[in-house]
Amino acid sequence: MSKPKVYIDGKEGTTGLQIYERLGGREDIELLLIDEDKRKDTEERKKFLNAADLVFLCLPDAAAVEAVSLIENPKTRIIDASTAHRTAEGWVYGFAELLPGQRQRIKFSSRVANPGCHATGFLSTVAPLIELGVLPRDYPLSCYSLTGYSGGGKKMIAEYEAPDRDPLLDSPAPYAIGLCHKHLPEMRQVAGLDFPPNFLPVLGDIYKGMATTVMLQNHLLKGTPNAQDIHDLLAGYYQDQKLVQVTPFGGAGPRLYTSQLAGKDSLEITVSGTQEQTLLTAQFDNLGKGASGAAVQNMNIMMGFEETAGLSL
């Protein structure tokens, strides 16, 4: 039986390179490699896109849309790591653990949109509570998300790692302060919210890692649960999941570190708080469960491989 052919369009970028490094040693697939001097040649790319059983698109949004238009082979399946198709009709959102039946939808889909990193953290806590009927769809949500600089791509990585870098980069930096971050549409649509959350990402002086936090006023929730109740609901929701876990109530200590799960492909949710208020924090690697790790997990599901093959738990 022949091995499935896999092609990475855009393997020179941060996410593409990470996927390439993860798949390079796999013996259960055939990785198609375009000549370096032809990687921007449209006709050559078209040949590879149509020769593959599965394609990873690791491209800017406009280029990802163009790549999809070049695919004429009905058997070619796509995982798009860009923002372009995350809320598009006909595309399945690639977060297997998030909603009932999502893993099966990914398995049988030919078009899967890999989630955004900040959206992954936000949705991991918010979407289940809406699905369970506890969090109203019109709740006025606020969220902040601490992230490593690798998510900004090669230019930002070079900026942070330059020997003569700006001393201001030593301190955390809120950004997208106009409240129009590109992950907001998927955060709203996938969760089923009536309104987008107030969302503030914060860039830190660490290479990779992410901690995304949502705070709730319990009296605005249906049934007025306390923080322990919220913990128990999420723990039950994610029971037996290999890549998403809920830690014991209150967490392991008084601090949550952004880089705690750097190098891992799993996600941990910590729930703490009181009778009146609840704090929800998702910790994961922005390059792992927040990007290339999720993409490889989705490939494994679509191809019928062990779901955690090639991943770091």
For 99-153, strand residue ranges (E) read 111-113, 142-147
Which residues are designated catalytic?
A: 117
Q: How confident is the model at residue 1 (pLDDT cuts 50, 70, 90)?
A: low
SS (H, E, C) 148-161: CHHHHHHHHHHHHH
pLDDT exceeding 90 applies to what percent of the chain?
95
pLDDT, mean of residues 302-313: 96
Identify which of 145, 132, 128 has the alpha carbon closest to the alpha carbon of residue 183.
145
Q: At what angle do helices 117-131 and 184-191 cross, to 10 degrees?
A: 20
Could you tell me the pLDDT band of residue 98, with boundaries at 50, 70 and 90?
very high
- Looking from the CA of 8 toward its CB, the CA atoms found within 13 Å total 26
Residue pair 311/242 in contact by the 8 Å Cβ criterion: no
Q: Distance of CA 92 to CAs 11, 64, 155, 205, 264, Å? A: 22, 16, 30, 33, 24
Cα 109–Cα 209–Cα 148 angle in degrees, nearest 5: 105
CA-CA distances (angstroms) from residue 213 to 42, 89, 105? 42, 29, 28
The predicted structure's pLDDT at residue 252? 85
In this predicted structure, the answer to whether residue 39 has a pLDDT above a threshold of 90 is no
Helices 14-23 + 153-161 axis angle, to 10: 100
Region 19-27 average pLDDT: 93
Q: Which of 144-148, 225-229, 249-253, 295-299 has the lowest mean pLDDT?
A: 249-253
Does residue 230 register a pLDDT over 70? yes
Residues 281 and 211: beta-carbon distance below 8 Å: yes
Q: Is the pLDDT of residue 253 over 90?
A: no
Across the chain, mean pLDDT equals: 96
pTM > 0.85: yes or no: yes
Instruction: Please determine, for residue 60, whether its predicted confidence score (pLDDT) is greater than 80.
Output: yes
What pLDDT, on the 0 to 100 scale, is given for residue 40? 85
Tens digit of each residue's pLDDT (9 = 90 or more) over 161-173:
999 999 999 999 9
